[in-house]
């Protein structure tokens, strides 16, 4: 799996702003752990889906996903979510997109001990960390 592509995808889904985006919050680490434990039966399809996103970007824009502008990345992910793809996919694009979004959100908002939510950044962002300290 292309880690540069994976990083660009998850940061497109949860971009950095005043708080870290998905990559800096450890979502790639969370997903890597998940694919080697709870989702081992889906790991090959997950990696193929990431590769298919790059192939789709090359077909649409003649450059890899990580090199697209943020607007191009968002429009492409919206098309994939809708199942409107131009390339052949080894997995159903909309099903893959749903899994990608769900696991990215899980990693961002999970218990930090699970590998994501590094430094409890999402909990601080949502105010949960302040509530749990009381």
Residues 63-75: tens digit of each pLDDT? 999 999 999 999 9
Instruction: Say what the pLDDT of residue 120 is.
Output: 82
pLDDT digits (tens, 9 = 90+) for 87-100: 999 999 998 999 99
Query: Which 8-state DSSP code applies to residue 87?
Result: S
User: Total structural domains in the chain?
Assistant: 1
pLDDT digits (tens, 9 = 90+) for 40-61: 999 999 999 999 999 999 999 9
pTM as predicted: 0.85
In this structure, are residues 93 and 80 in contact, taking their beta carbons and an 8 Å threshold?
Answer: yes
Quote the domain boundaries for residue 103: 3-12+21-133
Q: What number of other Cβ atoms are within 10 A of residue 93's Cβ?
A: 20
| Band of pLDDT at residue 121, cut at 50, 70 and 90 | confident
CA distance 81 to 75: 10
131 pLDDT exceeds 60? no
Instruction: Say what the pLDDT of residue 1 is.
Output: 62
């Amino acid at each position: 799996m292309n880690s540069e592509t994976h990083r660009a995808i998850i940061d497109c889904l949860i971009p950095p702003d005043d708080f870290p985006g998905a990559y800096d919050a450890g979502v790639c680490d969370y997903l890597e752990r998940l694919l080697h434990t709870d989702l081992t039966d889906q790991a090959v399809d997950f990696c193929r889906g990431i590769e298919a996103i790059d192939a789709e970007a090359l077909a649409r824009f003649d450059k890899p996903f990580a090199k697209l502008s943020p607007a191009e990345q968002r429009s492409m992910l919206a098309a994939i979510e809708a199942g409107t793809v131009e390339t052949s996919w080894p997995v159903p694009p909309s099903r893959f997109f749903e899994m990608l979004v769900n696991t990215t959100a899980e990693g961002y908002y999970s218990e930090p001990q699970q590998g994501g939510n590094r430094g409890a950044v999402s909990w601080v962002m949502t105010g949960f960390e302040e509530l749990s300290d009381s």
